Structure 1
Amino acid sequence: MKLSTHIKPISYLKAHAAEVVRTLEDQGEPLVITQNGEAKAVIQGIGSYEQTQETMALLKILALGTRQIQQEDVEPVQDVINRLRA
């Protein structure tokens, strides 16, 4: 995804809000909104937002697992299975 192709000034957003919302859902890519020539906000469709949040959650779980492995805070899988079955 190349954000430089998805940049619009805030005046465009004000004048074309309904079209922007439709485009966000259709394309699934975020839109950078500028004000006075500077990037000020990023908007995205709800589907894209939910996917981003799910990805972030998975990355946090992976980071936690990696940290636990590094701290040797782990158990053999067979011990866990036996405990769950009991």
Structure 2
Amino acid sequence: MKLSERIKPISYLKANAAEVIAKLAEHQQPMIITVNGEAKAVLQDIDSYEEMQEAIAMLRIVQMGQKDIREGNTIPLEEAMRRVRDGSLD
């Protein structure tokens, strides 16, 4: 679906809500809703939204790991493995 087909005024959404929701699920591409010609909201299907939230969560985990590395909050692999085997993860 072209970007121009995914930009709709709020009046279109009001008049065609069921169709819009069906298209969101079918194409899995967001729709941009305008008010007075300005983009004001983005609608997306639930599966795409959940995927995006999972991706954001993974990026946050990576970011936290990079911060730990920068700050020197790391231990050698052998030490980590020993702690896992011993059950002493503190």
TM-score category, normalised to shorter length: over 0.9
Corresponding residue for residue 48 of structure 1: 48
Tell me how many residue pairs correspond in the alignment. Answer: 86
CA distance in 2 between partners of 1:82 and 1:5 (Å): 57
* TM-score normalised by L of structure 2: 0.89
**Identical-residue share of aligned pairs (%):** 49
Shift of 1:14: 0.5
Corresponding residue for residue 23 of structure 2: 23
CA distance in 2 between partners of 1:3 and 1:42 (Å): 13
CA distance in 2 between partners of 1:78 and 1:38 (Å): 56
Which one-letter code corresponds to 2:76 in the other structure?
P
Q: Which protein is bigger by CA-based radius of gyration?
A: 2
CA distance in 2 between partners of 1:4 and 1:60 (Å): 32
CA distance in 2 between partners of 1:46 and 1:4 (Å): 22
Corresponding residue for residue 65 of structure 2: 65
Q: Give 5+ residue unaligned stretches, structure 1.
A: none
* TM-score normalised by L of structure 1: 0.93
Which one-letter code corresponds to 2:34 in the other structure?
T
